Amino acid sequence: MRDYGEERRNELEALEAIYPDSFTVLSENPPHFTITVTSEAGENDETVQTTLKFTYSEKYPDEAPLYEIFTQLNLEDNNVADILKLLALQAEENLDRNLNTSNIQFLEDAGNNVEVDESLFQEMDDLELEDNDDDPDYNPADRERDLTD
């Protein structure tokens, strides 16, 4: 069983280490936090700044976080829209990666206990399989020998 709470706590710790001066936890349950991003890229070398607010759901990281632009300074409307699009795209990409990781985790948790229903393979003689003369390993004599055994 996946421990979402532990995963969220670990991620918050990682974010705090990555953004020590711009990361602020607003609430731990449910997890709300902000990250402030600052740049000197504005017109006339003005400072451009935005604070992004994130909220994790109960099933995060299997569900995307809620996010919004909490505050902004010298940020144009088209830049706000671009930031929100980028966040949506990144959340979607991370969900695809996370689902792959969760499938791997599921298989690892199951261990080597794979059950095969052999009855699915009992009636294979009824299948019409094409001979493939293009296959360099294909030998029609092998098929004839298998049918007589």
Strands (E), the chain: 23-28, 31-39, 48-55, 66-73
Dist. CA 45–CA 31, nearest whole Å: 35
pLDDT of 54 > 90? The answer is yes
Task: Tell me which of 1-15, 52-66, 95-109, 116-130 is least confident.
Answer: 95-109
The pLDDT assigned to 40 comes to 76
The pLDDT assigned to 129 comes to 61
The pLDDT assigned to 108 comes to 63
Dist. CA 26–CA 28, nearest whole Å: 7
The pLDDT assigned to 36 comes to 95
Mean pLDDT score, 58-66: 89
The pLDDT assigned to 62 comes to 86
Neighbours of 133 (CB within 10 A): 8
Task: Tell me which of 55-64, 66-75, 86-95, 125-134 is least confident.
Answer: 125-134
Q: 88-122 burial, b for 16+ CB within 10 Å, e for fewer?
A: eeeeeeeeeebeeeeeeeeeeeeeeeeeeeeeeee
Mean pLDDT score, 6-17: 92
Task: Name the more confident of 147 and 91.
Answer: 91
Tokens of 93: 């990409």
Q: Domains of the chain by range and CATH? A: 4-109 (3.10.110.10)
The pLDDT assigned to 130 comes to 62
pLDDT tens for each residue of 67-124: 999 999 988 889 899 999 999 999 888 888 655 555 556 566 666 566 667 777 666 6
pLDDT of 48 > 60? The answer is yes
Nearest Cα residue to 31 out of 10, 51, 8, 52: 8
